[in-house]
Structure formats: structure tokens, C-alpha cells
Amino acid sequence: LPLLRQSVLKHAGSRPLCSSEPLISAVRGISSSPQQFAASGRAHTSSNTDTDVPKVLITGGFSYIVLKRFGKNNVILSDIRKPPIDVYHNGPFIFSDILDYKNLREIVVNNNISWLVHYSAVLSAVGESNVPLAKEVNITGLHNILDISTEHGLRVFVPSTIGAFGPSSPRDPTPELCVQRPRTIYGVSKVHAELMGEYYHHRYGLDFRCLRYPGIISADSQPGGGTTDYAVQIFHSAVKTGHFECNLRSDTRLPMMYIDDCLRATLEFLEAPADKLVSRTYNIHSMSFTPHDLTQEMQKLLPYLKVTYNVDPVRQAIADSWPMALEDSAARRDWGWKHEYDLPQLVQTMLTQIITNHKLAQVN
């Protein structure tokens, strides 16, 4: 299995802490407008062709999403936090603040970057408690990413989320094109990102790509306060104590995906030929389940597991405004997306990995 890519998990509600606590006072220094990027009104052509191995910059996390595919020397990981020591052994890591336009631009130029994978964000639960920070990181930071990518002819990937939909959106399933009126600053910023990216594509020729992630589940992720966190925390609690207290109602159905499916979808989408993409923003889907469904599947392997409910009204309100399932036929048609993990496979894989990790931790 591929190594965990923590950056992806941020956009699934599992890792809401952004990589930008002190960013409000960051220097931005924007010196160019999109109109100055090219006299023709189109993006500059990158020096990398489709047949070249891309040089990839990943913002906002210790992500290994493309290390294996393109080689560790062709992928630069960046954040404003000091990463675990193993990150330094897996290839280049540099400090990068997405609100510092000049620094970000220097990184792109000095390292001949051709792809920019932008994961830095403040998520739903944390964003509601710090709206000014969420606006700075999720909106101003995005503008810097789009402007620099346009100026230097990059292929840019920005993840979106089920949080980009709202209570007036169809929920089961939620189509790609429908009313989007999210009730969180995170969701609002993601709708903004989708529209701005598509505008830059049509206006300046930017190769913008965006996937709406469901809740992403990984054994290597520690929950951090997101709305879909219960689907990760329940596995850790089941192994450690045999009891889990869920903060969503037992019948709350949400779309979910195992991390390996999410990573493979992202990489396949990044590598898809531009002429195959009818849209620039796609839904991807794997499975949908409720806390009750997940509990029943886990109890087949852990009969002693006990789950109780203590509903958090804030998270429940967010979950009630989100899709129950995503309609993703366009992704399956246009670039061949196909999930591999269903609920039984997810439970088996998660429990196997967490039990193994727990035993190793006890030994050490």
C-alpha cells in the first residue's frame, strides 16, 4: 500500500488543522495581475511537455502522493511546520508560506516546477471557529496559487470537498452541476476555488484540475476535529478500548473513501490528457454509510465493540447539509475513474493496519 499522504486527508474532514497558524501577517507582495501574464491573454507554455517527468510542488502538508510515481527528487514537499524526520529522507522538503507570494514564486522558478498540488487549507470545524484565518488561507492563498500557476504555465490541482454543497443541493446522489450554497466558510471558499479555477482555465488557459473529495479514511491518520472524523476515530477506539462515543447521529449517511482509492484517483486525474477532460471539476465516489452501518460491519470482526452516541449539534448540522452520496459518472466516463474499496474491504484493511500499528507501538 502507498504511504499515507496526510495532505489529502485535510480535505476530507479528517485533518482540519491548517499549515498556517501565523499566516495572517504574512507578506504577499503580489506584483502581477493575470492580464500581465501573456500578451495573448493565455498562460505561458511550461518548459515541460506531457512526455517529460513533471517537477511537482505540493503545498500544505507532508504528502507522498506522487513520490513513488515520479521519483523523490522530482517532488518537493512544503509546509510552514517542521515535518517528521522521515519526510526529509523521502526527498526535498522546503519551507513555503502560501500567503508569501514572492517566496512561492521563487520556489516555482528556482526549482523549475511544472505541477503544483495545493493542499494547504483550513477545514470546516476549525474554519467556523476562526473565519478570518480561513478566508486568508483558503481564498487569498488560492489567488496566489492561481496567479503564479498562470504566470508560469503550471498544471495546478486544487482539491474540493463534499462541503462545497449545501442544504439546498440534491443529496442522494449529489450531481456535479447543481445548486451550491454551503453553510461553512470552508465550503464557501471551495466553491470560490472551483469557480476561480475554471475561470482562469477559460480566460487564461490555465490547466486547472479539481476533485471533490468525500470523507477520506486512513489508518495512519490521527483525527483532528473534522466532521467525518468519527469514521477514523472509531477504529482507533475499537482497538484500544472496545468503546466509541460518536458525535453524529447513528443514521447520518455520508460519502466516504479509503485513502488508497483517493490517492490513485488524484494521480490518475493529474496524469489524464487535457483533451479528455470535459470538465475541470469532478465528483469522485466510492461508498456511503452511516455510523450504524460502520459499527455493524466492524462488529463482525470485533463483536465486543460498543458504540454510544453524544451528538455534537455543530457537526451534525454540517453533516446534515452535506451530500449522502456523490454522482461521479463523468469521472468514470472521461478519465476512467473506478474505486476498488467497499465497506467490508475498508473495515478489514483499517483494523488490520491499526492492530498492527498498536502492537508495534507497544513493543517500542
With respect to residue 294, please indicate whether it lies within any of the assigned structural domains.
Answer: yes
pLDDT tens track for 304-317: 999 999 999 988 99
With respect to residue 46, please indicate whether it lies within any of the assigned structural domains.
Answer: no
**Residue 88 φ/ψ, nearest 5 degrees:** -65, -25
| DSSP 8-state class, residue 60 | S
What is the greatest pairwise CA distance in the chain?
67
Query: Do 162 and 212 form a contact (C-beta atoms < 8 A)?
Result: yes
With respect to residue 20, please indicate whether it lies within any of the assigned structural domains.
Answer: no
157 SS3 class: strand
Domain span holding position 183? 56-361
With respect to residue 7, please indicate whether it lies within any of the assigned structural domains.
Answer: no
With respect to residue 170, please indicate whether it lies within any of the assigned structural domains.
Answer: yes
Cell of 306: 460498543
Averaged pLDDT for residues 146-150: 97
- Count of structural domains within the chain: 1
How far is C-alpha 212 from the chain's CA centre?
Answer: 8
Which entry of 64, 186, 200, 341 is annotated as an active-site residue? 186
H or E segment to which residue 68 belongs: helix 67-70
119 is catalytic: no
With respect to residue 47, please indicate whether it lies within any of the assigned structural domains.
Answer: no
With respect to residue 137, please indicate whether it lies within any of the assigned structural domains.
Answer: yes
Please check the confidence at residue 37 and state whether its pLDDT lies above 60. Answer: no
Average pLDDT, the chain: 83
The residue among 30, 228, 221, 17 whose CA lies nearest residue 137 is 17
User: What is the CATH classification number for the domain harbouring 81?
Assistant: 3.40.50.720
The residue among 118, 104, 131 whose CA lies nearest residue 189 is 131
H or E segment to which residue 134 belongs: helix 131-135
Angle between helix 291-299 and 230-240 (nearest 10):
30
With respect to residue 211, please indicate whether it lies within any of the assigned structural domains.
Answer: yes
> Long-range CB contacts (< 8 A, 24+ apart) of 277-280?
277/209, 277/334, 277/335, 278/330, 278/334, 279/176, 279/330, 279/334, 280/197, 280/198, 280/201, 280/208, 280/209, 280/210
Mean pLDDT comparison of 27-41, 112-126, 310-324, highest-scoring range: 310-324
Q: How far apart are CA 125 and CA 264, in angstroms?
A: 27
pLDDT at residue 17, rounded to an integer: 32
* pTM for this predicted structure: 0.84
Query: Do 141 and 97 form a contact (C-beta atoms < 8 A)?
Result: no
Averaged pLDDT for residues 250-269: 94
